[in-house]
Every structure is written in structure tokens, then in C-alpha cells.
A and B are shown apart, each in its own frame.
Chain A
Amino acid sequence: MVSMEDWSIRLTILQGAYGYKGFTEQIGENMYKTDLKGFIEAIENAKEPIDTSKVSKLSSDQIKVLQGAPSGSWLIPLLNRMGRLGMMDLREGLVNPKIFQYTSTMSAYKRSI
């Protein structure tokens, strides 16, 4: 059984690495709150897709990349479950767009000092 702590870590990775935005609410500047229980409930109990337009599954190439790090063992079934439920459109790619924005900001910041 996955602990609440591990569910939280999983959601953190989905948000930070792959840009998942669900079950998150902004509560202040740079501060967010997640509905962890709602997320777990959806993953474990949802019977029908939440958004049929997003129903998708991981490609074999995406699976190979995910297997390149230890978390692949749980990320692959979790992402496929989210894809089946239309919680995340896996066809759009698995990357948080913030990474590009941040990388360019960091480059500009480093140039400025």
C-alpha cells in the first residue's frame, strides 16, 4: 500500500517534472495547496474518464525514457492510469514547460551578475 507521503512525492514529481496541474490551488505568492486525497481518490476509484479528449497512453519511447530513472517503476503504471482516465494528455509530451522558461531566466540571471 502506498503511503500518503509517497503519494505526495509522486504528485510532486508529476507537477514539477511533467507539468501536471490538477488538484492544485494557489493560496499565496509562490504558495500552493494540493488536494492529495482528491487525487488519490481519482486514481484509485474513478471508473470513467474525467476528460475523454485527453484519454491516451504512454508510447514505447516515453516508457523507455521513464525507465531511465528509478521512479520509472511506479511512474509508468501511474501515468498510464492517468492517461486512461484522461487526467493528463500523454500525447502532448512529458515535460513541464516551466523548465524552458526557468532555464532561459537562469541564463539571463547568470549573464547579469
Chain B
Amino acid sequence: MLYREIFTSCWNFTIGLGLNTAEASEIEMGKVEVDPLIKDLKTNHSDWTITLVTSDEVAKIKEELKNSQNSSVLRGPAPPLTNVYIDKVISQVGTSNQKIEDIGLQQTSHAVSGTVTVAVMEVGYGTENQWLDDERITYQNRDYKLNEAAIDFNNDKIIDAFYHTVTFNSDLKISSGTSALYKFRSTSQNYPWNTIERTINIPHL
């Protein structure tokens, strides 16, 4: 759930920066030193894209925040992790030869080539980690493209599951004629704090 945390912190960051930078007159009056703040941020987080927002955007963000506080929110505790399964392995992603394989209980996928996507269903809230062989798959690792979608089983406005995809160039990551082991491990964010791990062996053509 790293991305969610990053997303949240970036969101807070944008708002904070907006309030500090957009209204120049207020900044001068309040003597808020924005430039050193931005400089520090750029130094400490070289991979962040720092965008200054306009007064209009600040007003819009404030309005959105006000509205979001008035609207209903997701209710109830986050469901614990109950299941993880590898749903699909897709080969030659984005080409006319793209092939999708439903994995189910299989332990080895079809032989892949080109860009590959692995899709995983995580039922409940877990803190997940993924690997391809010994390499950790993270948002920071540009070799992997990660996506995550939320699912509500029963329309009660509580997210019940997350559908994850990881996409990578198998021609670079798996040598021809060999296999790599993809692993998804998740630990429940709530009681009983259980861990579920699923793996799939992915051979390359």
C-alpha cells in the first residue's frame, strides 16, 4: 500500500505548498520562507515533481476539502487480509499477439516474451511486497509499472479487495530459455495479522 501512502503524503504536500506559495502577498506579510522549503524538498526528494499552484487552484483545493468533509466517507474497519491469488499472466502486452492466461491454481505460466503483466487479487487490506526472483518490485524501480484498483463486493462503500498489476519487459528481466519466480506477499493490516504468499514460475521463450 506504499503508493497510497505516497499519494496521501503528496496530496498533503501539494496543499501545504499551495497555501504557502500561491498567495504571494500573504507570504510576504507572514514572512513564510517558501524558497528554502522548496530547495530543501528538491534536495531531499530529487525524484519529486514540485509544481507551484495558482491562487485559483488553491481556492479549488480548499473548496474540494470543504466538500469532502461534508460528504459521506467509507465506513467501518478495513477488512483483514483473507485471500491472495495470482489471476492472470499476460504476454506481449500491447501487441496484436497479446496472450492472456488465467492462472488459477497453476504454479507455472505459459512461456512469455516482450512486455508482461502479472495481475494479482488481494482480498482484504494487506501491506504487500512483490519480487521477481531476488529483485524487489517497487514504485521507485522504473523497470516495473505498478497499478492498483479498488473493489467493493457488496456496495457498502467499504473497499473489500485490491486488484494489482505489475508490468515489465520480460526480455530484459528473464533470460531466454530460463524462468523467473514472481512472488506476491501480503501481511494483513488488521487482526489476525496473517501473511499470505503466492508465487508463479514464469518461463521465457
Residues in A lying within 8 Å of B, measured CB to CB: 3-9, 12-13, 15-18, 24, 27, 30-34, 36-37, 60-62, 64-72, 75, 93-96, 99-100, 102-103, 105-107, 109
CA distance A94 to B72 in the complex (A): 20
Q: Is the CB of A34 within 8 A of B100?
A: yes
User: A31 touching B99 by the CB < 8 A rule?
Assistant: yes
We find that the number of chain B residues with CB closer than 8 angstroms to chain A is: 48
Highest count of chain B CB atoms <10 Å: which of A7, A15, A68: A68
Asked if A68 and B74 make an inter-chain contact with CB atoms under 8 angstroms apart, the answer reads yes
**Given A3-B94, A13-B163, A94-B152, is A30 in contact with B4 using a C-beta cutoff of 8 Å?**
no
Asked if B115 and A5 sit within 8 Å, CB to CB, the answer is yes
Q: Which of B82, B83, B100 has the most CB of A within 10 A?
A: B100
Q: Mark B79-96, 1 if CB is under 8 A from A, else 0.
A: 000110101101001111
List of A residues within 8 angstroms of B94 by Cβ = 3-8, 36
Across the interface, do A17 and B163 meet the contact criterion of CB distance under 8 Å? yes
Main SS at interface, chain A: helix
Cross-chain pairs A/B with CB under 8 angstroms, 12 sampled: A5-B145, A6-B94, A12-B100, A31-B101, A32-B101, A64-B73, A68-B74, A70-B147, A71-B149, A99-B153, A102-B83, A103-B82
Query: Which B residues form the contact surface with A (CB < 8 A)?
Result: 3-4, 7, 71-74, 82-83, 85, 87-88, 90, 93-96, 98-106, 110, 115, 117, 119, 121, 123, 145, 147-153, 155, 157, 159, 161-163, 165, 167
Output the least CB separation between A30 and chain B (Å). Answer: 4
Please indicate the chain B residues that have their CB under 8 angstroms from the CB of A12 in the complex. 88, 90, 100, 117, 119, 165
* Complex: A8 Cα to B114 Cα, angstroms: 13
Which A residues lie within 8 Å of B149 (CB)? 13, 17-18, 66, 69, 71-72, 75
